[in-house]
Amino acid sequence: MRNRHRLTQAALMLSVIAARAHAAPADTSVGGTIVDGAGQPVGNAMVTLQDSAGASVGEGHTNAIGHFTVGHVAPGTYAVVVSAPGFTSGSSVATTSPGQESSVSIALSKSDTLDVQVNAQRLNRARNDLLPETGSSVYRFSQSDINNLPAGQDTPLNQVLLQAPGVASDSYGQLHVRGDHANLQYRINGVIIPEPISGFGQSLDSRIIDQLNFLTGALPAQYGYRTAGIVDIRTKSGDTGSGGSINVFGGSHQTIKTSSDVFGSQGPFSYYFSGSLGENNLGIENPTSSASPIHDHTRQGDAFGYMSYIINPLTRVSVMFGTTSNQFEIPNTPGLPTAFTLNGNTSFDSSQLSETQSELNQFAVVALQGTNGAALDYQLAVFTRYSRTQFNPDPVGDLLFNGVAASDFHSDRANGVQLDTTYRLNEKHTIRAGIFFQQEHAIFDNSLAVFPVDAEGNQSSDQPVNIPDSSSKTGYLYSAYVQDEWKLTDRLTINYGLRYDKMDQYVSASQVSPRVGLVYALTPSTTVHAGYARYFTPPAFELVSDSDIARFAGTTAQVSGQNDPVQPERSHYFDLGVTQRLTPSLTVGLDAYYKKSTNLLDEGQFGTALIFTPFNYQYGRTYGVEFTASYKQDNVSAYLNLAFSRAQGKNINSAQFNFGADELAFISDHYVFLDHDQRVTASFGGTYELGRTTFMFDGLVGSGLRSGFANTDRLPVYAQVNLGVIQHFNVNNPLIGKFDARLLLVNAFNRVYELRDGSGIGVGAPQYGPHIALYAGISKKF
């Protein structure tokens, strides 16, 4: 029976060969029409003829009216398989006869998933086009770049930003960009997220980032209020599929952190959710050089969600929310002497102090975004944010050491609306305009336990008294801008515009700010950018208070001097830079900037609570030069940033009571360095991929922040190098499958350095960098 079957197959094959040998006059063709579910023709569809073995014997494409023909086909029966972008595949059967064309008609069904992806990408491009970058300095971090840091997605956001040039680190996780104190604006998917009350923890998790653009320099009119740097985050989403991950990370200082995220889509609805929870015994920088800080436990958790719904191919509504809850113990310095007497007692072990601080930050956004597919793009967003910080003193110890035990509660609620539009007037001109409004309500509910003092300021009683210090204030911000991006030539683009800002808070002020920036492609490998911006920067409303300092007279909390209100900073900013691609693998850049300010804003820690207070220098000047280099070749990548900067101010003219009379007198006649001024800052890093293993490193070098009387001294040079390795596993087990294991060595050479020594303007306590520490993590995608 088997032999007979084989003989039959052989006979058929010989027949086919014989037929093909004489097929010229008997060749035929297959044709037909491809339509969609509504009967409309589908153009440029791919048509493939397959024989009974599934092999392709001919291909063709439909024309504009949906018709196709596949010629030179031998008589027989074939499967007609059709595929087209935006449609599910379709098929039919065609039987051909010698000399006659076989005709079929196939209707394709729309592919909702592909439609959603195409529409989402179109809307993402339209949203991103609302944010111009012409004339500014831009540094980009992709999801892969963050993954290739030694700590990967467990790298705090502030440490990700330290990989950009001109960014200096400070205590409590603070960042200083080009000589500014903080002054960073965070945007998520194009929407401004109002700043939280300053604290130790990070409000946003690096895990949510798909792309991060960091803008500095002379910014277009789009950007206002916080202008030292724009942190433009584009989040992950579920537009391109479904999945998620779970991660466990831990090690030294009893660190343990678990994180997870999940994403997906269902028709026009997509979602992304992320969360993490962790604790360790190094929540705040150690105030001593010891390897293990005393009383420094922290618990931190965060969650983020992004949901979007595509109403139609040109319109999308999205919802974002985030929450961060952090609790910190304030670390102690042993061996400190007491300075006051409480109920006849003068002794207290400073290592046993129990100060704590808790922080809560929450935000939510609803955005309507759309495009007409050609000339107009827009996004209208409504946002809200609530932030609070609670400092709890040691009620006994703080009185004995400081003479004051202050329980400080600050809260701030912000609500507002933001509208951004883009209109492409023609091929050369793109007009952008927008408005922004924000209302804030801040509450200060503080209570101070203090001792009475005599006329010379000496403690006159060992019995404390309580003084309430509560207030509240509502403030408003208004802004509008218009700008034109003008493509003069294929190589030269200029963006010019005007911005109007007004604040009505503890003071009322406004400003019209011109902006202009250009990008010029000097050669295919050389790009020059330049810009000028007039800036208007209000003080952080959530930190300013109109507390009546007179109520503390005759106590250990008394202060003397003026208390003029904090003013907005006004500045002129100039920036010039060039980028040169030396080889396809190596790119270098050089950027110079200069800023001249009136009422330069700075912040300091002046009380026992670790909350900052703004103040002004009447005059300010900041300038510097930055060098950047990046290399990418096959399995090797590296970067190097080197920055020189100077930040100085003269004559403190607000919140003067926080300063001693000798400092005020000196600063009134001299330009002094700001406490966060650092002459030289460098960052570097790289990766090397070897099979399934990736080795990486990064590092920081700084010439030291300022210290001493009126910041006339500085701390020593410091350096920190971190090493990491990732191993990608693929276990032949369906329950395990693929996963990544990571090993991280922080401060690999164990160079212990002092970031702050407790001296300088507005510096509250010493802080040291981390000792050598080992961490490990496992990440599993699903």
CATH label of the domain that carries residue 654: 2.40.170.20
Each residue of 443-501: pLDDT tens digit? Answer: 999 899 999 999 888 999 999 999 998 899 999 999 999 999 999 999 999 999 999 99
User: Is residue 400, in this structure, part of any structural domain at all?
Assistant: yes
Residue type present at position 359: E
User: Is residue 292, in this structure, part of any structural domain at all?
Assistant: yes
Question: Which of 64, 79, 110 finishes a domain?
Answer: 110
Does residue 128 sit in the same domain as residue 65? no
pTM (two decimals): 0.84
* Whether the Cβ atoms of residue 309 and residue 347 lie closer than 8 Å to each other: no
Does residue 105 sit in the same domain as residue 151? no
Rounded-to-integer distance, Cα 180 and Cα 163, Å: 17
Burial degree of 489 (CB within 10 A; 0-12, 13-18, 19+): exposed
Rounded-to-integer distance, Cα 96 and Cα 51, Å: 12
Does residue 96 sit in the same domain as residue 127? no
Does residue 497 sit in the same domain as residue 604? yes
Domain interval for residue 68: 2-110
User: Is residue 285, in this structure, part of any structural domain at all?
Assistant: yes
Q: 272-295 in b/e burial notation, b at 16+ Cβ within 10 A?
A: bbbbbebbbbbbbbbbbeeeebbb
The full length of the chain comes to 782
User: What domain count does the chain have?
Assistant: 2
User: Is residue 348, in this structure, part of any structural domain at all?
Assistant: yes
pLDDT the model gives residue 195: 79
Does residue 738 sit in the same domain as residue 595? yes
Does residue 656 sit in the same domain as residue 622? yes
* Whether the Cβ atoms of residue 698 and residue 714 lie closer than 8 Å to each other: no
Q: Comparing C-alpha atoms, which of 758, 616, 612, 603 is closest to residue 676? A: 603
Domain harbouring 71, CATH code: 2.60.40.10
Q: Comparing C-alpha atoms, which of 643, 540, 717, 619 is closest to residue 184? A: 540
pLDDT the model gives residue 182: 83
Angle at 281 between CA 278 and CA 284, to 5 degrees: 95
Question: Which of 110, 134, 166 finishes a domain?
Answer: 110
Does residue 632 sit in the same domain as residue 671? yes
Rounded-to-integer distance, Cα 559 and Cα 550, Å: 8
Does residue 322 sit in the same domain as residue 214? yes
**Cα 734–chain centre separation:** 36
**Cα 251–chain centre separation:** 26
The contacts of residue 186 (CB under 8 Å, 6+ apart) are 192, 193, 195, 203, 204, 231, 233
Question: Which of 76, 110, 144 finishes a domain?
Answer: 110
Does residue 142 sit in the same domain as residue 84? no
User: Is residue 115, in this structure, part of any structural domain at all?
Assistant: no
Rounded-to-integer distance, Cα 637 and Cα 627, Å: 17
Tell me how far CA of residue 390 lies from CA of 285, 301, 393, in angstroms.
19, 17, 10
Rounded-to-integer distance, Cα 603 and Cα 615, Å: 6
- Residue 343 three-state SS: coil
Q: Comparing C-alpha atoms, which of 750, 724, 683 is closest to residue 153? A: 724
Does residue 397 sit in the same domain as residue 361? yes
User: Is residue 116, in this structure, part of any structural domain at all?
Assistant: no
Cα-only R_g, the chain: 32
Does residue 271 sit in the same domain as residue 164? yes
User: Is residue 746, in this structure, part of any structural domain at all?
Assistant: yes
pLDDT the model gives residue 608: 62
Residue 3, H or E segment = helix 2-21
Rounded-to-integer distance, Cα 156 and Cα 302, Å: 12
Residue type present at position 469: D
Does residue 99 sit in the same domain as residue 185? no
Q: Comparing C-alpha atoms, which of 361, 389, 319 is closest to residue 157? A: 361
- Tell me the H-state helices in 84-152: 112-128, 143-147
Residue 198, H or E segment = none
Rounded-to-integer distance, Cα 603 and Cα 183, Å: 10
pLDDT the model gives residue 113: 52
Q: Which residue numbers in the chain have pLDDT < 70?
A: 1-26, 110-118, 198-201, 607-610
